[in-house]
Amino acid sequence: MLDVIIGFMEAYRVLLADDHAVVRSGIRNAIEKMPSILVVGEAEDGPTLMAALELYAPDILLIDVTMPDFEPIMAIHQIRALYPDMKILVISAYDDDVYVQGLLGAGVNGYHLKDQPLQDLNLAIGRIINGERWISSPLIEKLVSSPQSRASGPTLTSRQRDILRLLHKGWHNQKIALELGLSTKTIENHLTRIYRSLDVQSRLETVNYLNQNPRILYDEEPVKYISPKQETTSSAVGDVLLVDDNSRFRYQLNRTIVSLYPQLKVQEVGSIEEAMAAVESTVYELFFVDVILGEQNGIAFVKHLKKISPKSRIILISAYPDKEFHRQGLAAGATAFIDKKMLDKETIKQILEDTIHSG
């Protein structure tokens, strides 16, 4: 039956992500026997996964989310935002219903248990290819019968969830305070109330609780990806175009923007020709444009952009903060000229907020 479903389709590019080489080998051997499936790469931890996603642009990601340097819920939200069309199938040994619900809420297309037959894995892949959601049968009853009180969890404020996410990363109180713009004493007071709500006594117990109940980090205000077909709210920036011939820099900038505003649609291009093609089909509210694009002139492109999209904000960026570049860029119509080395998270956040308030 599966052969009939996908037999006449073009090959689907699959990326395997698991920290055990033996497991990856077993999955590869099983799925490569399927028609129209091509395994294009493998990853063993969070950093290699993100690099492989950029390198291979797979159609399907098969992933065990308990890899080193990989925070499951937050990372899946980010991956879903960066690759909205990619199918994601989790293959895991964990069958905790809250954990499964958290990942399904983050945007995965299916959740498959490792102890199930490989034949079921083939079926799961076929199902998600056809746009369906897959959940291993042993999980279904647990999900259906899960008590509402357990699903909802303790009541926490948005600020307390922000603190919990940073605590879960291993940050100390002073670093959390600096990140959130609060005093260390305020963080300590919040943690006292959090411990009481979670019925824990220490940071270690809190981390263990979060590992068992990851969904609590996003229960009340989940980070959701809004597809380009959905309407954006007045509190969000519109589409963003990154124009830079350095793919690694574009990737890092894209990641930072999406981490700040997951609902954004961010597109990357590496040349003026690609940028021109993009603006013909999409109205962008914000541009990041490199001054030097190989042999091409980013400042000249800015001047053209201001003619065809006068209300857009254009941020010129450069690894060569030359004063003449700065003068010419602003004269061409750029909103700002920023040294790439100064383009940190806080600066990007300010640019996005300025764009929101000017809209």
Averaged pLDDT for residues 292-320:
86
> 161 and 56, same structural domain?
no
Pick 94 or 98 by higher pLDDT.
Answer: 94
211 and 249 part of one domain: no
- Distance between CA atoms of residues 231 and 276, nearest Å: 24
Number of H helices, E strands in the chain: 17, 13
Highest mean pLDDT among 57-71, 131-145, 165-179, 235-249: 57-71
DSSP 69-136: T--HHHHHHHHHHH-TTSEEEEEES---HHHHHHHHHHT-SEEEETTS-HHHHHHHHHHHHTT--EE-
128 and 13 in a common domain: yes
120 and 34 share one domain: yes
Which pair of structure tokens corresponds to residue 36? 């129209």
pLDDT-derived band at 190 (thresholds 50, 70, 90) equals confident
Which of 100, 127, 145 terminates a domain? The answer is 145
What average pLDDT does the segment 92-105 reach? 78
Cα 220 to Cα 226: distance, rounded to the nearest angstrom = 17
- Domain assignment present for 120: yes
Answer left, alpha or beta for residue 181, where phi above 0 means left and psi between -120 and 50 means alpha: left
Is residue 321 predicted with pLDDT exceeding 70?
no
**Cα–Cα distance for residue pair 255/53, rounded to 1 Å:** 12
18: pLDDT strictly greater than 50: yes
Residue 226: inside a domain, yes or no? no
Q: What six digits make up the tokens of 317?
A: 């960026």
Q: Out of 202, 217, 232, pick the residue that ends a domain.
A: 217
Pair 163, 230: CB distance under 8 Å? no
Q: Is the domain of 49 the same as that of 138?
A: yes
C-alpha span between 203 and 170 (Å, rounded)? 9
What's the pLDDT score for residue 263? 79
- Among the residue ranges 8-22, 121-135, 205-219, the one predicted with the least confidence is 205-219
- Is residue 234 assigned to a domain? no
Q: How many percent of the chain have pLDDT more than 70?
A: 85
Residue 3 is predicted with a pLDDT of 42
Domain contains 43: yes
Tell me the C-alpha distance between 350 and 7, whole Å: 49
Q: Which residue has the higher pLDDT, 233 or 206?
A: 206
Domain assignment of residue 229, yes or no: no
Range of the domain at 175: 153-217
Rg (CA), the chain: 23
State the pLDDT at residue 252.
85
Which of 145, 162, 181 terminates a domain? The answer is: 145
Whether 31 and 140 share a structural domain: yes
pLDDT tier for residue 4 given thresholds of 50, 70 and 90? very low
Amino acid type, 131: G
The CATH number of whichever domain residue 258 belongs to comes to 3.40.50.2300
Q: Which range scores top for mean pLDDT: 4-8, 55-59, 210-214, 275-279? A: 55-59
> Which pLDDT belongs to residue 265?
85
- Asked which of 5-9, 198-202, 244-248 is least confident by mean pLDDT, the reply is 5-9
**Domain shared by 260 and 158, yes or no:** no
Q: Distance between CA atoms of 46 and 354, rounded to whole angstroms?
A: 32
| 201 plus 88 within the same structural domain | no
User: Does position 229 have pLDDT exceeding 60, yes or no?
Assistant: no
Pair (124, 12) in one structural domain: yes
Q: Are residues 61 and 164 in the same domain?
A: no
Mean residue pLDDT across the chain: 81
287 Cβ neighbours under 8 A, 6+ residues apart: 240, 241, 243, 305, 312, 313, 314, 315
The answer to the question of residue 231 being in a domain is no
Q: Is residue 168 part of a domain?
A: yes
Number of structural domains, the chain? 3
CATH of the domain at 212: 1.10.10.10
Question: Do residues 304 and 277 lie in contact, with contact meaning Cβ atoms separated by under 8 Å?
Answer: no
Q: Quick one: pLDDT band at residue 234, thresholds 50, 70, 90?
A: very low
Handedness of CA 10, 11, 13, 16 (dihedral sign): positive
Q: At what angle do helices 184-198 and 158-168 cross, to 10 degrees?
A: 90
- Tokens of residue 85, six digits: 């069309």
Residues 123 and 158 in one domain: no
In a domain, 167, yes or no: yes
228: confidence class by pLDDT, cuts 50, 70, 90: very low
119 and 15 part of one domain:
yes
User: Among candidates 132, 97, 313, which has minimal Cα distance to 124?
Assistant: 132
Interval 140-152: pLDDT, tens = 766 665 544 344 4
